[in-house]
Homo-oligomer: A and B are copies of this chain.
Amino acid sequence: MTIDPPGPLLIQGCDVLVVPESGDVTVRTAQDIRIDDGLITAITPTGQLVPDGVEILDGHGLLATPGLVNGHTHSPMVLFRGAAEDVPVHDWFNKRVWPMESNLTDRDVYYGALLACAEMISSGVTTFVDHYFTPHEIAEAVAESGIRADIAPTYFSSQGRDALEATVAFAEQWHGGAGGRVSVSMGPHAPYTVNDDDLTLLADHARRLGIGVHLHASENVQQAESSLARRGVTPIEVLQQTGILDAGVMIAHGCGILPRDYDMLAAHADRIAVASCPKVYLKHALWPLTPIRDLLGLGVTVAAGTDGAAGHNTLDVWEALRLVAETQKLETRDAMFLSVSDTLRLAMRGGAAAARLGPGAGALEPGQRADIALVDLSGMRHRPLHDPRAALVYGVQTHDVKSTVVAGRVLMRNRQLLTVDVPGLLAEIDSRAGRLVDLSSGASVQFYDP
């Protein structure tokens, strides 16, 4: 079940955030944005476009920004938020998350994904790059809620070849679905849980289908060192050898990417993205962080993500991009690195590229998808508003996002969600919550020993 295509839309009187490919981000004041068939068709000074029966969204006093992209997440894991605190990464997986995940039914995943979609819409996220089990349920939630997503069906080699083929069948069914709002990437979990034969096979399928691969690799330096000790190659070298780099890949985390990996990454830079999710690195006390300055220097796309809410607690991409800027300044010991302009560009253009949205995506320009957040910077915590870009990076919170548009459809208007029955959904969530965190069965979906 998906929703009908929207009619034309006019956002009136808003300011517009201009995010160029390089140089300073700027603000163009008092504009109208015209949208037809899900695409931006014109951005002009307000009043020039005469409404001709189109739907109107009042943008006066609001700043229109490219919709945020959550560069890496596991959307249904909102079901576990707050249930795995204050543990190191091994215990997080083996004592909390993978046992809890063994409790999940398909319907749990559906409701979890729908809650994630609602939460993201409510904070101006218009696209998310997802990686999880039971992908059909996630695709249904995306289709219904109106958001956009690239969905990678998670695969472990321990599940067997039939499960691999099922992920391929999902891609064949859903890539380009929901009016083009759903795309699919192949989703091997990681080189430490998927063997080289399966990686090679999934890379081949990705090339055949013209889609990407999304996986965890070199998540931390311990994983890279473990891979070198066990098999003499880094995880990135495994991706090279199995054809994953050639197929095109979204690498989650990459904190353990080593200088010996750089030439391989540079050679495939036009088809590689890395998503950095610093809140979870901080909470799990993992150092170093994603080497973003080096990756950008190699020409690799970098995006900001939340990872799942079992680590990040929320799916707040404003918080994620803020932490990317803050932690990268610290990591590089350079307060001038990732300026407010460069941070917004990374999150918006980098995020859109990581989601494979095509050339020029992540900016509000005619011809681009109409994925837009309308942000209110008039609140006390932003005043005086010396620099709206700084307010976006260092001050904005969920409640400042007043309306969200995806593919030209208004999904939230003045903080009212229009496609999700939030009270009904929360009742469903609450009815499932206790069972999900019950560890008495002793089961687990996997064992973490990278």
Say yes or no for A145: interface residue by CB 8 A criterion: no
The CA of A92 and the CA of B437, in the complex, are separated in Å by: 47
Answer whether residue A329 sits at the interface, using C-beta atoms and an 8 A cutoff: yes
Q: Interface centre among A85, A286, A332, by most B CB within 10 Å?
A: A85
A418 at the B interface (CB under 8 A) = no
Q: How far is the CB of A371 from chain B (nearest CB, A)?
A: 20
Max chain B C-beta neighbours (<10 A), residue from A88, A282, A432: A282
Main SS of chain A's interface residues? helix
User: B397 and A284: CB pair below 8 A?
Assistant: no
List residues of chain B with CB within 8 A of the CB of A383. Answer: 78, 115, 426, 429-430
* Nearest chain B CB to A406 CB, angstrom units: 17
Are the C-beta atoms of B329 and A82 separated by less than 8 Å?
A: no
Tell me which residues across on chain B come within 8 A of A122, comparing CB atoms. 380-381
Task: Judge if A384 is at the interface, Cβ distance under 8 Å.
Answer: yes
Bound CA span A394–B79, Å: 15
Q: Which of B78, B386, B388 contacts A80 (CB 8 A)?
A: B386
Given A82-B385, A430-B384, A391-B88 contact (CB < 8 Å): no
Q: Are B87 and A335 in contact (CB under 8 A)?
A: yes
Docked-complex contact A386 and B285, CB < 8 angstroms: no
- Determine the chain B residues whose CB is within 8 A of the CB of A429 once the complex forms: 383-384
Q: Are B399 and A398 neighbours in the complex by a CB distance under 8 Å?
A: yes
A85 & B395 in contact (Cβ 8 Å cutoff): no
Check A387–B282 contact: CB distance below 8 A.
Answer: no
A422 is an interface residue with CB less than 8 A from chain B: yes
Stoichiometry, copies per complex: 2
The verdict on A81 contacting chain B, using a C-beta distance below 8 Å, is yes
Q: How far is the CB of A308 from chain B (nearest CB, A)?
A: 13
Q: Tell me the complex Cα distance, A235–B396, Å.
A: 37
A238 CB to closest chain B CB (Å) equals 27
- A283-B326, A433-B384 as given contacts; A86 in contact with B397, CB under 8 Å: no
A242-283 to B contact mask, C-beta < 8 Å, 1/0: 000000000000000000000000000000000000010111
- Are B86 and A336 touching (Cβ within 8 A)? yes
Given A283-B326, A333-B285: A82 and B386 within 8 A (CB)?
yes
A118 at the interface (CB under 8 A from B): yes
Q: What is the CA–CA distance of A39 and B394 in the complex, to the nearest angstrom?
A: 36
A-B contact pairs, 15 of them (CB 8 A): A79-B384, A80-B386, A82-B386, A82-B388, A82-B391, A85-B390, A86-B336, A119-B381, A282-B327, A284-B335, A285-B334, A285-B335, A316-B381, A384-B429, A386-B433
The 6 A-B pairs at the shortest CB distance, nearest first, are namely: A384-B433, A82-B390, A282-B326, A399-B399, A313-B394, A82-B387
A-side residues, CB < 8 A to B, are 78-83, 85-89, 92, 115, 118-119, 122-123, 279, 281-287, 312-316, 325-327, 329-330, 332-337, 339-340, 380-388, 390-391, 394-395, 397-399, 422, 426, 429-430, 432-433, 436-437
17 other contacts beyond A118-B380, A285-B337, with CB at 8 A cut-off?
A: A81-B382, A82-B390, A82-B395, A85-B339, A88-B335, A115-B380, A122-B381, A123-B381, A279-B326, A281-B330, A285-B335, A286-B330, A313-B395, A380-B422, A383-B429, A383-B430, A384-B430
